[in-house]
Amino acid sequence: MSEPLVASRTALDALLEDLEACDGLDGMRLVMRRLRDHFAVRHMAYLWLDATGLQSACDTYSEAWRTRYLDHLYLRVDPVVTGCYQRFRPVDWKRLDWSSRAARAFQADALAHGLGSQGFSVPIHGPHGQFALFSANDGRDDDAWARFSAAHGRDLILLAHFLHRKAIEIEPERRPETGQALSPREIDAMTMLAMGHSRAQVASALSISEHTLRVYIEGARFKLGAMNTTHAVARAIGRGLIVV
Amino acid sequence: MSEPLVASRTALDALLEDLEACDGLDGMRLVMRRLRDHFAVRHMAYLWLDATGLQSACDTYSEAWRTRYLDHLYLRVDPVVTGCYQRFRPVDWKRLDWSSRAARAFQADALAHGLGSQGFSVPIHGPHGQFALFSANDGRDDDAWARFSAAHGRDLILLAHFLHRKAIEIEPERRPETGQALSPREIDAMTMLAMGHSRAQVASALSISEHTLRVYIEGARFKLGAMNTTHAVARAIGRGLIVV
DNA sequence: TTCCCCCTCCCCAGAAATGGCGGGGCGCGC
DNA sequence: GCGCGCCCCGCCATTTCTGGGGAGGGGGAA
């Protein structure tokens, strides 16, 4: 069989240790090239996404494809991105929805820029809705690709975890800000507001006057440095003070 | 040395395959006990959390501790839960914040119910703000526990991934969070509202009339099944549709 | 082409949230 | 004892949001 054998425990260990020890984005890029060679695929990519777009990236794609991807806003089109966003399990690109016209145009463009038709992507979800993707890409046929996925799927999951860990370490401004803790009643209030209840409903559910409830809401707003109730709830969720 | 050796690739494989093949929550519980025996620790637990509390659980704790945990609302107190919620990396329980009075009382109660003082937890984040925890607990001393973590940390990460995958499969009613996507303008609106701006501010920032903005907010409210703006923002964050 | 969704704009009136003022009691730590 | 944070309650006026109508242009998908 022409595919590499199942990675030995020590080979994977060595890669993970290099990844943990490497320095900055440049170090990650170096490791990424080593990963590509180790797994003998055409491309490997780690992309950290964001509401505003690409937050940080580390891949073996050509510069031409990278700029084209950004210029054409392919982030909003690429079925790999849109498909993985709501998914937990890793996925083979064949199983995604390529039916829309934009997706097919994107696919043709990708092939024209040196990508292979096969792909395997691991979604990475973090706290505060963080989302990243780790993908392997190659041109081999369906059977060979299925064997590749079966052999290396678990290694890729582990690598995805450590890649994102490294990316978080590199972007310290993304780390959660420590805030003042809310009182139990304030947490109750924020939680019920986040569930969609009005102040009157929350007050009656907590068996307190609506004015008392206001005191809690204002207290939480102040502690969270929020402009209004919606802002306070958003911050409370974002800081993990309440769970939705 | 008294700790088990690094799990061989095939032993871990066997456990993962059993996990993938097992059936329902009972099957998971069986696998959990096998994991406990395999790693030779006192307890192992997988907890899937939720706004309303515990969504599904699978652990080797005593029934007494389980009910006590729920009755005393320890979910809101347990530093393992609150600490892991904002975290991506696995964490040793010693590194969490046990300084509050409630946390110390909780710790004493846990020890009294047969838990060991050492623990290692892997946070699991999924799409739509899903959050779960996979923990190992034991009573050995600091050095032995450090060796355990170093030897098995990666296996536990992989196991956490597959446990959550199984849990998602078992709870299909969790998925029909009919992930209706928001339009770009709706995302803009929700994002800016979550940042604390008033409708007037958002409208002027987006250079649209306040009435148009209202259409977006109402559209988002409808798609998210939300009662009001605050609810809609909370859901949008919870489902990972916007980033805070 | 037709349909559907997205984007944009407008009016009105009622409901809800906010800002500011006041009051009281309980338990904890310095 | 004193201060502080937490818990609870009242009334005022103002701002903001919400719910019901209405309109038109544009672009992608079947």
The predicted structure's pLDDT at residue B92: 96
What gap in Å lies between CA B216 and CA B189, rounded to an integer? 7
| A49 and A81 share one domain | yes
Please provide the distance, in angstroms rounded to a whole number, between the alpha carbons at the two ends of chain A: 49
Nearest CB among A154, A196, A234 relative to B237 is that of A234
Q: Which two tokens stand for residue A81?
A: 């991105």
List per-residue pLDDT tens for chain B, 244 residues long.
343 334 445 788 889 999 999 988 999 999 999 999 999 999 999 999 876 567 788 999 999 999 888 877 677 678 898 888 878 999 999 998 887 777 888 888 899 999 999 999 999 998 877 889 999 999 999 999 999 999 999 999 999 999 999 999 987 655 544 556 788 888 888 989 999 898 888 888 888 888 888 889 988 888 888 888 999 999 888 777 787 6
Instruction: Name the nucleotide with the smallest C1'–CA separation from B184.
Output: C6
Residues A155 and A53 in one domain: yes
Q: Is residue A244 part of a domain?
A: no
- Average pLDDT of chain A? 86
* ipTM of this predicted structure: 0.76
Q: Which residues of chain B (153-212) touch nucleic strand C at CB < 7 A?
A: 183-186, 206, 208-209, 211-212
pLDDT one-digit tens code per residue, A171-202:
766 555 556 778 888 888 898 899 989 888 88
φ and ψ at B49, to 5 degrees? Answer: -105, 175
Q: What is the average per-residue pLDDT within A142-151?
A: 95
Task: Tell me the CATH number at A32.
Answer: 3.30.450.80
Co-location of B46 and B102 in the same domain: yes
Q: Which nucleotides of D are covered by protein (CB under 7 A)?
A: 5-11, 16-20, 22, 28-30
Q: CB–CB of B230 and A128 under 8 A?
A: no
What is d(CA A19, CA A29) in angstroms, rounded to the nearest whole number? Answer: 10
User: Which candidate from A129, A194, A195 shows the least CB-CB separation from B243?
Assistant: A129
- Cβ contacts of B227 on chain A, cutoff 8 Å: 196-198
DSSP A7: P
* B113 shares its domain with B226: no
- Confidence at residue A173, expressed as pLDDT on a 0 to 100 scale: 60
Helix (H) or strand (E) holding B44: strand B43-50
The CA–C1' separation of A61 and C28, in angstroms, is 61
The CATH number of the domain holding residue B219 is: 1.10.10.10
Residue A228 amino acid letter:
N
pLDDT band (50, 70, 90) for residue A4: very low
Please indicate, yes or no, if residue A152 is contained in any of the structural domains. Answer: yes
What is the per-residue pLDDT for B4?
39
Number of domains, chain A: 2
Q: How far is the CA of A100 from the C1' of D29 (A)?
A: 9
Task: Report in angstroms the alpha-carbon separations of B7 from A110, B12, B151, B181.
Answer: 40, 6, 8, 43
Check residue A54 and give its pLDDT: 78
Beta strands, E only, B99-230: 118-125, 131-138
- Domain for residue A44, yes or no? yes
Name the A residues in 124-153 with CB < 8 Å from any B CB.
Answer: 125-131
Q: In this structure, is the CB of residue A215 within 7 Å of any atom belonging to strand D?
A: yes
Cα of B194 to nearest chain A Cα, Å: 5
pLDDT for A177 = 53
Contact A133, A122 (CB under 8 A): yes
pLDDT of residue A178: 55
CB atoms B231 and A194 under 8 Å: yes
In a domain, A243, yes or no: no
Do B142 and B230 belong to one domain? no
Is the residue at B243 inside a domain? no
**B169: its two tokens:** 């499969």
Which domain does A54 fall in, by range?
Answer: 9-174
Whether residue A130 is found in the same domain as residue A229: no
Identify the CA nearest to A94 among candidates A73, A113, A116: A116
Q: Which residues on A lie below 8 Å from B197 (Cβ)?
A: 227
Q: Which of residues 159-218 of A touch strand C (CB under 7 A)?
A: 198-200, 211, 214, 217-218
Claim to verify: residue A199 and residue A118 sit in the same structural domain: no
Q: Do B149 and B49 belong together in one domain?
A: yes
Q: Pull the structure tokens for residue B177.
A: 């969070």
- Is B128 within the bounds of a domain? yes
Q: Position of tokens 């196991």? A: B159
Average confidence (pLDDT) over A212-219: 89
Residues A57 and A129 in one domain: yes
Asked if residue B104 lies in contact with residue B215, where contact means CB atoms within 8 angstroms, the answer is: no
CA–CA distances in Å: residue A187 to residues A191, A237, B87: 6, 11, 20
A120 plus A156 within the same structural domain: yes
Determine the distance between A105 (CA) and D10 (C1') in angstroms.
Answer: 66
Residue reference for tokens 């009573």: B139
Domain final residue pick, A174, A202, A222: A174
Residue A4 lies in a domain: no
Asked if pLDDT for residue A104 goes beyond 70, the answer is yes
Q: CA angle, corner A164, sides to B178 and B137, nearest 5? A: 85
Residue A200 belongs to some domain of the structure: yes
